[in-house]
């Protein structure tokens, strides 16, 4: 199999469900609202890939890229269910939509924008949900993360094949985006998962090194026990 086929074979179909609102980590409440507001980036990232499919993407990547677009629609639905359960902050929602417009308007190649958003934004927000969210948020985080690993690998290969580069201005937009999300947190707190600098450094490490060892806690399997949670907070798999 070529690399794209190998990535496609790793996928597992899952169906979002409407979750209940459970308790979240004290001190993370405001930042969690902003993380959820960033769900408005899911469909634009899918649109970036759709736009790319109308251009010069490698032929072998097309089936995988089309599948990735469907994933983004699934992610938007799953995060929308969580927003329904927890409620939203309207000011955060409007500011997130302004950030969304900035990403759409940025002149870098659409595949490059998708790769940066997923690698250095989504890969920070999903562990944040894992560390600080309730049962439903943690389950959704794990399912979306599994998809995003495939997306980032795919987009990285496409960028390499097309010779695409990340502009300094896109990196600046990435920094501004993650700073906005984590702004409600403190610095040098006793709990690293409530420390703004911990998450900003993670985004930088993912951007410049392609990895963030400090997020290795997300590797540990966390299967929600059926007897501990309401059925509505458990994922549904094909």
Q: Is the pLDDT of residue 97 over 50?
A: yes
What pLDDT shows up at residue 61?
96
Separation of alpha carbons 89 and 115, rounded Å: 28
What pLDDT shows up at residue 129?
96
Query: 22: which 2 tokens?
Result: 């459970």
Query: 164: which 2 tokens?
Result: 């695409």
Q: What domains are defined for the chain?
A: 27-216 (1.20.1260)
| Half-sphere exposure (Cβ direction) of 38: Cα atoms closer than 13 Å | 24
pLDDT per residue as tens digits for the range 31-50: 999 999 999 999 999 999 99
Separation of alpha carbons 86 and 51, rounded Å: 33
The number of beta carbons lying within 10 Å of the beta carbon of residue 179 is 13
Query: 195: which 2 tokens?
Result: 């420390």
Integer CA distances (angstroms), 119 to 62, 184, 189, 191, 220, in order:
20, 22, 25, 24, 20
Contact 114, 155 (CB under 8 A): yes
Separation of alpha carbons 125 and 119, rounded Å: 10
Q: What percent of the chain has pLDDT over 70?
A: 91
| Cα R_g (the chain), whole angstroms | 17
Contact 148, 126 (CB under 8 A): yes
Q: What is the pTM of this model?
A: 0.89
Separation of alpha carbons 84 and 220, rounded Å: 28
Higher pLDDT, 112 or 216: 112
Q: 206: closest CA among 120, 112, 129, 121?
A: 120
pLDDT per residue as tens digits for the range 158-193: 999 999 999 999 999 999 999 999 999 998 889 999
Phi, psi of 236, deg, nearest 5: -115, 125
Query: 117: which 2 tokens?
Result: 């958003």
């Amino acid at each position: 199999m070529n690399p794209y086929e190998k990535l496609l074979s790793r996928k597992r179909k899952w169906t979002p469900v409407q979750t209940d609102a459970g308790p979240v980590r004290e001190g993370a409440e405001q930042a969690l609202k902003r993380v959820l507001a960033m769900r408005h980036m899911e469909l634009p990232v899918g649109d970036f890939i759709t736009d790319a499919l109308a251009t010069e993407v490698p032929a072998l990547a097309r089936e995988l890229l089309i599948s990735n677009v469907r994933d983004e629609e699934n992610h938007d639905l799953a995060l929308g269910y969580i927003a329904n359960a927890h409620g939203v902050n309207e000011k955060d929602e409007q500011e997130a939509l302004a950030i969304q417009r900035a990403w759409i308007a940025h002149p870098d190649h659409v595949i490059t924008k998708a790769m940066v958003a997923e690698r250095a934004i989504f890969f920070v927000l999903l562990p944040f949900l894992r560390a600080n969210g309730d049962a439903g948020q943690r389950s959704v985080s794990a399912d979306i993360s599994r998809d995003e690993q495939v997306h980032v690998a795919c987009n990285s290969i496409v960028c390499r094949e097309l010779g695409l580069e990340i502009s300094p201005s896109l990196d600046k937009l990435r920094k501004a985006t993650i700073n906005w999300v984590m702004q409600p947190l403190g610095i040098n707190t006793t709990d690293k998962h409530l420390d703004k600098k911990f998450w900003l450094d993670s985004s930088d490490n993912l951007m410049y090194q392609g990895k963030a060892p400090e997020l290795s806690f997300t590797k540990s399997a966390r299967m929600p026990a059926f007897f501990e949670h309401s059925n509505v907070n458990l994922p549904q798999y094909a």
